[in-house]
Structure 1
């Protein structure tokens, strides 16, 4: 499960997803699960942890929607929902959190909603809504992501060797 972004201002080296994660099996753990095969929905509650490849997500409650045997979307809520994911061509891990996260598998899009934070190294985005469009390697935040609050971006300078 890969988690969540085109801000006019581009963040250096924004490549959150390890490209092979989406092809890995998804493992879910929770205190309880309610599966309704007829409706194609599973609800996981209590200390939920999802692992897929290098991606890990923690939430209070998660809904997994499946169509024709494929995961179509995953919704998560928490105080906060947190995730981390290793990036391609880097040892760094991207981290994020929000009150709600939505992942749309077919479009490969992640939405972080409510007190959203996305960090890569020392760089970070903060807004009420952050969208990560994995397939396009794009990040949107604030109004460009249909949010209502201003975006705060911190980009640390690259250290030069002397």
Structure 2
């Protein structure tokens, strides 16, 4: 890995605690609520545990809302495990346990629900508490609050942090 990419990744990791609070993961209680899916078309492979939805796809679970042109849903042991979404853009909206809105968008999103990992790729962007992070690829580990951004090569990570007063940085 070249030096500028390493510096960018280190800077992102060092700034992440300012951007993410200890409660930045999706509202955990929502993951026990029913999953609702709307679309224009659906194709299901029951034996394979996979369903593909197309046309104005809207997925909701508690505060979580995903919108896309196409979504492939994977089940593990009869439970929602993963969604691969495609669109122009795919939009992720949720609230953390502190009630702060989180919004992400990209051309492709891999949402691993059970592992609590979101991978945004293709003009990826995450907004939270007025702060923004943009890159070609962003991997957001909700459970342990780790964010990795940058796809290498000519990809640049762009982050904007809003000014906060002394005690405000802990509760954006």
**Which of 14, 17, 24 is the aligned partner of 1:9?**
14
Two-structure CA RMSD over aligned residues (Å): 2.1
Deviating 4+ runs (over 4 angstroms): none
Which blocks of at least 5 consecutive residues in structure 1 are unaligned? 1-5
Match of 2:162 in 1: 156
TM-score (norm 2): 0.81
Q: Tell me the number of residue pairs that the alignment of Structure 1 and Structure 2 aligns.
A: 153
Quickly say closer, same or farther: Cα 1:130–1:71, change in 2 above 3 A: same
Structure of larger gyration radius: 2
* 1:147–1:73 CA distance, 2 compared to 1 (3 A): farther
- Residue 147 of structure 1 and its aligned partner are, at CA, apart by 8.0
Q: 2:137 aligns with which of 129, 134, 140?
A: 129
Give the C-alpha shift of residue 121 in structure 1.
Answer: 2.0
TM-score normalised to the size of structure 1? 0.86
Instruction: Report how far residue 159 of structure 1 moved.
Output: 4.7
Cα displacement string for residues 61-81 of structure 1 (whole angstroms, at most 9, x for unaligned residues): 000011221222110000000
Structure with higher helix content: 2
| Structure 2 gap ranges (5+) | 1-9, 167-172
Structure of greater relative contact order (alpha carbons < 8 Å, 6+ residues apart): 1
